């Protein structure tokens, strides 16, 4: 459970950073090279978040499968 809470906090931090970067990107004062850098950073964080969610899903699926097997023993 402690690891689950840690993952939730990391996920929330990533969401907040992503929102901050999107806000920064939407400002009209950004120059093109900086916009490209911010877009790349947002994309990188989204990929990282997706990979983390995939790993978490695999872990939870494995635990559910393991626990379900114990019910029938």
- As for how many domains the chain has, the answer is 1
Domain of residue 39, residue span? 2-71
Please tell me the distance from the alpha carbon of residue 18 to that of residue 58, in angstroms, as a whole number: 24
pLDDT at residue 71 greater than cutoff 80: no
Per-residue model confidence (pLDDT) at position 73: 54
The predicted pLDDT at position 14 comes to 86
What does the pLDDT look like over 5-21, one tens digit per residue? 888 888 888 888 888 88
| pLDDT tens-digit readout, 35-55 | 788 889 999 999 999 999 999
* Long-range CB pairs of 42-49, under 8 A, 24+ apart, other chains included: 42/18, 45/14, 45/17, 45/18, 45/21, 46/18, 48/14, 49/11, 49/14, 49/15, 49/18
**Local structure of residue 29 (DSSP, 8 states):** T
**Predicted local confidence at residue 72, as pLDDT:** 56
> Cα–Cα distance between 16 and 10 in angstroms, integer?
10
């Amino acid at each position: 459970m402690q690891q689950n809470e840690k993952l939730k906090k990391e996920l929330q931090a990533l969401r907040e950073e992503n929102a901050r970067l999107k806000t920064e990107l939407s400002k009209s004062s950004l120059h093109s090279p900086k916009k490209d850098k911010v877009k790349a950073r947002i994309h990188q964080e989204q990929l990282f978040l997706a990979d983390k969610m995939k790993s978490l899903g695999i872990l939870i699926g494995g635990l559910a499968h393991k626990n379900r097997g114990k019910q029938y023993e």
